Amino acid sequence: MTRGTADRPLLPIEDFEDLAEVAPKGVRLEYVDGRVRTKDALSVEDFEELERRAPETVRLEYVNGKLEVKAMPDGNHRSIFMWLLRQCMQHRPDLDLAPERGVKAEAYRKGRARTDGFLAPVDHFKGDREWSDPDGSLMAVEITSRDRDTNQRDRIDKPVGYAAADIPVYLLIDRDNTTLTVHSEPKDGRYQQVSPHPWGATVELPTPVNITLDTEKLKDCAD
């Protein structure tokens, strides 16, 4: 059983009101149980325009055909990302781990996911705008947050979206379960290999990443 997935508040009403004020014409938003939803079907183009207009305090994604709000990272979340960044720089200086990189995910690039980290060759994202194509990338990274949507978003929808986009590896760093789950070998919209590891284990990230993670330090971020 996971711990604390509903500890973080969802979108505050003040942020929703700011977002609703800048929504493009034809995009009707509603506020239901602390979540922002659209009253009508939302196209990718309308989502991108809404995301461009959104206040800095609101991070939006378009996952599985739905508008989603991604929680702002807290201190432990940022510490975990920096730990992973140092590991990647040490083992693979030929790669960049870009933080909070937007990626065109899902089948036919119809999703828009804001990854916590996106691993690719150095300067791979040079010249990209807000949303990068997944071609040539090596790994997407998500670190769970303290909100009630984490289970559906990070453990269910994101693996499907990243596999459908043929991202070779999806690394889920799960703060609720204190595990790292390595998803690899995408085929037909699903990762064929899914390997969970407890924090403290030595974790091998498979080809094409080829990094060995010493995860003992993650225990300091247990909360």
Domains and CATH numbers, the chain: 13-70 (no CATH), 75-221 (3.90.1570.10)
- Provide the percentage of residues in the chain whose pLDDT is more than 90: 83
This prediction has a pTM of: 0.92
Q: Is the CB of residue 112 less than 8 Å from the CB of residue 44?
A: yes
Straight-line distance from the first to the last Cα atom of the chain, in angstroms, rounded to the nearest whole number = 15
- pLDDT for 10: 67
Q: How wide is the angle at C-alpha 201 spanned by C-alphas 195 and 202, nearest 5°?
A: 85
Check residue 155 and report its DSSP letter.
I
Q: Is the CB of residue 178 less than 8 Å from the CB of residue 203?
A: no
The predicted model gives 145-159 an average pLDDT of: 87
pLDDT, tens digit (0-9, with 9 covering 90-100), for 21-63: 999 999 999 999 888 999 999 999 999 999 999 999 899 999 9
Q: How wide is the angle at C-alpha 187 spanned by C-alphas 175 and 91, nearest 5°?
A: 50
- pLDDT for 193: 98
Query: Per the structure block, which two tokens stand in for 126?
Result: 């040079």
